Amino acid sequence: MKIDKLFAGLKISALGLSAQRKKLNAIASNIANVETVKTERGEPYRRKVVVMEAPKQQSFARALNSAESGLAVTHPAHFTSSTILSETQNLTPGVISKEVEDPTDFKLVYDPANPEADENGYVRLPNVNIVAEMVEMVNATRAYEANITAVNAAKTMTRDALEI
């Protein structure tokens, strides 16, 4: 048995922790700039969103069909452990997360006294909804906590397995 298999659960949870950290950083930036009407680009702050997706991998059925053993006989002694391990390594999950700007329109507020107001007296405000950001923050925090719980469970299982 390869030692990497003991840490597979930790690797998966670490990917989840990293993705949720990126999401929480974007949310913190959005909340901090909820009233920023002018950035370096000369426009209001644009909300940041973290997009997460699974990497494109071959399907399980395709990996099963391309396996060296072919599954012609189902007796467990006919399969080598190295073949089984190499096939499962190709199916290791991951998370691709990237930060993008939300393309929705800016909010318009009538405030002719504001120095950033246009000729009609409207000020463009960031496209950040503080209530939606708080909901996203709670969601990301819960996902982060779930990954911490999974890390702790994997640590306990690994420790207990090494004591045997």
- Alpha-carbon gap, residue 68 to 71, rounded angstroms: 9
Q: Which two tokens stand for residue 126?
A: 């960031």
Residue 119 DSSP SS3: coil
**What is the per-residue pLDDT across 31-58, written as a single tens digit (0 to 9) for each?**
999 989 888 988 999 999 998 887 776 6
- Residue 127: name the closest of 146, 152, 97, 101 by CA: 101
Whether 65 maps to a domain, the answer reads no
Whether 29 maps to a domain, the answer reads yes
How wide is the angle at C-alpha 105 spanned by C-alphas 99 and 108, nearest 5°? 130
Number of structural domains in the chain? 1
Whether 82 maps to a domain, the answer reads no
Whether 22 maps to a domain, the answer reads yes
Q: Which residues contact 25 (CB under 8 A, 6 or more apart)?
A: none
The residue-averaged pLDDT of 131-142 equals 95
Place 84 in a pLDDT band, splitting at 50, 70 and 90.
very low
**φ, ψ dihedrals at 51, nearest 5°:** -100, 125
Place 8 in a pLDDT band, splitting at 50, 70 and 90.
confident
Q: Which residues contact 127 (CB under 8 A, 6 or more apart)?
A: 44, 46, 47, 102, 104, 105, 106, 107
Q: What pTM value is reported for the model?
A: 0.71
Amino acid identity of residue 123, one-letter, is V
Whether 115 maps to a domain, the answer reads yes
Give me the domain span that covers residue 151: 3-50+105-163
Whether 73 maps to a domain, the answer reads no
Whether 32 maps to a domain, the answer reads yes
Whether 147 maps to a domain, the answer reads yes
Does the pLDDT of residue 79 top 70, yes or no? Answer: no
